[in-house]
């Protein structure tokens, strides 16, 4: 009889015990109308949630259609700064469960935000005219206002590569939303095809290294008859199937892309094979540098990015003229990787805003670049003492980060963060001079 009374009392108390387990953050997330919330275990954060947040497709039409934007919410403390990481693509490509570098430095909360129209953050029937810098920025502004109800401390926006472009877009349209912005390796292109990228390949590295790269390209294409079967065999073994183009076209694209990807992610001339190393080794190295992934059906996941590149952000193309006699097609445009059946027309209105923004000395931004990275060629032009920083890692690649900078550069970055955020940080004890790998 005593046991029965105990169980009855316990059952009555369960709702209250459950509520006691809830936190301010969990109650806040559950209170968002139309949101889907999933609690997940994390070794990096005290609390961790995956939030599917209703967002307007067109922020200029408050009564219009919505989609759900995926956000990984990592909680460290209500008294801590909050870092908004703007992913430039789908969240599957990065690990939203792990602290990014600014989050680690600041011991901060983290909102890792999937880009609109990518991954699970896409409308059911995308209207492509709303995939713009303005709408991107409005997504982050809404998230900032929403989470500002819970996190009252300092705010930092950051992003890597295309995500760094998104961080910059956000700063342009909402300059006072956050206290500091840290775009990593973010292209600041001023044209659809910015000639600074072409000029980069004429002086990056050493003349001997550039010559070797060109010789490898020549060798791969001149001996295509024997190299192509090796390429197809290796692709098949790795599980790649060519549904968006034939293998020869993919092979040609890979050889044309080779210099860009090499300097973007490797930039170590010591690993280049000898030109006479043999067909198998040359093709294997080509695949190591330029994954066939980019030319298989998987490339469709990046179609929204190519829409943005050729609509507002700018991109790059290849000079096919030196290899014309060996290529299957007349032209190899990267624009062909956009959404199927969707017309993409260049609109320079955002570029005009971007130029004006950089010219007017943006405040409290830290731009990180790698010296060898082709995207560093179109890096932001920031003068010392202008209110922002630009740090370039010597011989660095697209993987450049604060931890890979020299100690003097790290101290400068930490000093700026302390000044702009009004906090004291534990200074870095050493630097890592190695070139980071992708």
- Alpha helices (H) along 111-192: 133-147, 162-173
Domain boundaries, the chain: 23-191+349-421, 203-337
CATH of domain 23-191+349-421: 3.40.50.1820
Question: Is 341 in a helix, a strand, or coil?
Answer: coil
Q: Is 355 exposed, middle or buried (0-12, 13-18, 19+ CB in 10 A)?
A: middle
Residue 392 pairs with which residues in a beta bridge? 369
Counting as low any pLDDT under 50, the low residues of the chain are 1, 14, 16-20, 430-438
pLDDT score for 435: 32
Find, among 378, 317, 353, the residue nearest to 183 by Cα.
Answer: 378
Report the C-alpha gap between 260 and 373 in whole angstroms.
8
Question: What is the pLDDT at residue 432?
Answer: 41
Question: Could you give the residue ranges of the DSSP H alpha helices within 186-319?
Answer: 195-200, 207-222, 224-237, 247-265, 279-289, 303-308
List 181's β-bridge partners, or say none: 157, 365
Helix, strand, coil proportions of the chain in percent (round to 5)? 45, 15, 40
- Supply the pLDDT for residue 98: 82
pLDDT at 299: 76
pLDDT at 298: 72
User: How do residues 177-202 score in pLDDT, each as one tens digit?
Assistant: 999 999 999 999 999 999 999 999 99
pTM of the predicted structure, to 2 decimals: 0.92
Q: Are 140 and 170 in contact (CB under 8 A)?
A: yes
Q: Give the model's pLDDT for residue 375.
A: 98
User: What is residue 427's predicted lDDT score, i.e. its pLDDT?
Assistant: 78
């Amino acid at each position: 009889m005593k046991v029965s009374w105990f169980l009855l009392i316990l059952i009555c108390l369960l709702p209250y015990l459950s509520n006691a387990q809830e936190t301010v953050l969990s109650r806040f997330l559950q209170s968002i109308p139309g949101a889907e919330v999933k609690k997940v275990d994390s070794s990096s954060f005290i609390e961790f949630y995956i939030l599917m947040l209703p967002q307007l497709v067109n922020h200029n039409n408050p009564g219009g259609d919505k989609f759900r934007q995926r956000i990984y919410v990592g909680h460290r403390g209500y008294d801590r700064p909050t870092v908004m990481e703007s992913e430039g693509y789908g969240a599957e490509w990065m690990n939203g469960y792990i602290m990014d570098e600014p989050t680690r430095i600041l011991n901060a909360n983290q909102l890792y935000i999937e880009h609109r129209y990518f991954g699970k953050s896409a409308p059911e029937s995308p209207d492509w005219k709303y995939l713009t810098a303005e709408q991107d920025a409005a997504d982050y502004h809404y998230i900032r206002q929403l989470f500002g109800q819970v996190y009252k401390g300092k705010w930092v926006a950051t992003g890597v590569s295309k995500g760094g472009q998104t961080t910059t877009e956000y700063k342009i349209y909402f300059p006072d939303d956050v206290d500091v912005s840290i775009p990593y390796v973010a292209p600041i292109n001023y044209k659809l095809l910015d000639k600074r990228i072409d000029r980069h390949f004429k002086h990056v590295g050493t003349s001997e290294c550039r010559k070797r790269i060109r010789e490898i390209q020549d060798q791969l294409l001149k001996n295509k008859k024997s190299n192509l079967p090796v390429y197809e065999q290796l692709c098949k073994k790795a599980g790649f199937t060519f549904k968006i183009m034939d293998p020869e076209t993919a092979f040609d694209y890979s050889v044309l892309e080779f210099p860009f990807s090499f300097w973007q992610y490797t930039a170590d001339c010591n690993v280049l094979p000898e030109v006479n190393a043999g067909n198998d080794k040359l093709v294997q190295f080509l695949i190591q540098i330029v994954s066939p992934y980019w030319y298989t059906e998987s490339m469709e996941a990046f179609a929204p990015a190519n829409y943005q590149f050729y609509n507002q952000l700018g991109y790059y193309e290849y000079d096919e003229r030196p290899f014309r006699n060996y290529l299957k097609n007349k032209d190899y445009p990267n624009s062909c990787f956009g959404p199927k059946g969707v017309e993409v027309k260049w609109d320079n209105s955002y570029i005009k805003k971007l130029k004006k923004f950089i010219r007017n000395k943006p405040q409290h931004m830290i731009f990180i670049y790698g010296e060898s990275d082709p995207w560093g060629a179109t890096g932001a032009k920031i003068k010392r003492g202008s209110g922002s920083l630009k740090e370039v890692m010597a011989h660095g690649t697209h993987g450049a980060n604060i931890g890979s900078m020299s100690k003097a550069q790290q101290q400068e970055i930490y000093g700026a963060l302390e000044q702009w955020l009004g906090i004291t940080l534990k200074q870095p004890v050493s630097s890592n001079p190695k070139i980071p790998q992708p």
